Amino acid sequence: MKRIFKIVAALVLGGTFLSACYYDHWEAIHPTSGLVDVCPDSVSATYAAAIRFVTAQNCVSCHNSSRQDGNIVLETYDQVKSLAATTKFLNSIQRVDGSKPMPPGVGLKACEITKIQTWITNGMPN
């Protein structure tokens, strides 16, 4: 009996090690990844050209329609626009003292925040 368990254990351990072990990099599989670096000046500060890529990469994992963290969803233009009209949106991404820093942990890049600010100043074009 004991021996059987040892064999089972060895098989399962060895099995996880050897089977289905990959060394993949998403960026290598999809060099463009369909995502855009929004920082260059050539990228215009509109929702379609820039903002949606920032929110998709940094916010939607928590603020999606199934999870709805903080009762906030950021999947569509209208949703992002209505949140961006509030002060807590900029406070959160700028990590102003007393705000809830967003995204939690590693924040947005400074140039991404600048792009969002430009977008808001311009009246949040789609």
Partner 1 sequence: MACRTSILFALLLSAMSAVAQGKWAAVNEAEYDSLGRVTRTFRATRLVNLHTTELMPKGSLDFRIAHRFGAFRTKLNNLYGLDGPATIQFRLDYSITDRLTVGIGRSSYKKMGDVFIKYKWFHQKQTGMPVSVALLASTNVIMDSDPTANITGLDRYAVLSNRLVYFFHGMVSRKFGPRFSAQLSPMLVHYNLVEKLNDKNDILAIGYGARYKALDWLSVTAEYVQRTFRYSPDFRNYHNVLSLGVDLETSGHVFQVFVTNGYMINEAVVIPFTDGTWSDGNMMLGFNISRTFDVLKK
Contacts with partner 1 by CB under 8 A lie at 2, 5, 9, 12-13, 16-17, 20-28, 30, 33-35, 52-53, 56-57, 60-61, 64, 69-70, 75, 100, 104-106
Q: Which of 109, 8, 1, 13 shows the shortest CA–CA distance to 53? A: 109
Q: What is the CA radius of gyration of the chain?
A: 21
Provide, rounded to whole angstroms, the least separation between the CB of residue 28 and partner 1.
6
Provide, rounded to whole angstroms, the least separation between the CB of residue 126 and partner 1.
14
Q: With CB cut-offs between 5 and 8 Å by kind, which of partner 1, ligand HEC, none does residue 26 bind?
A: partner 1
Structure-block tokens of residue 60: 């939607």
Q: With CB cut-offs between 5 and 8 Å by kind, which of partner 1, ligand HEC, none does residue 92 bind?
A: ligand HEC
In the bound state with partner 1, the residue whose beta carbon lies nearer, of 97 and 121, is: 97
Structure-block tokens of residue 96: 């102003």
Q: With CB cut-offs between 5 and 8 Å by kind, which of ligand HEC, partner 1, none does residue 124 bind?
A: none
Cα torsion at 35, 37, 41, 42 (round to 10°)? Answer: -40
Q: With CB cut-offs between 5 and 8 Å by kind, which of ligand HEC, partner 1, none does residue 88 bind?
A: ligand HEC
How far are the Cα atoms of 47, 76, 111, 116 from residue 126, in angstroms, in the given order? 5, 10, 19, 12
Rounded CA-CA distance 17/21 in Å is: 7
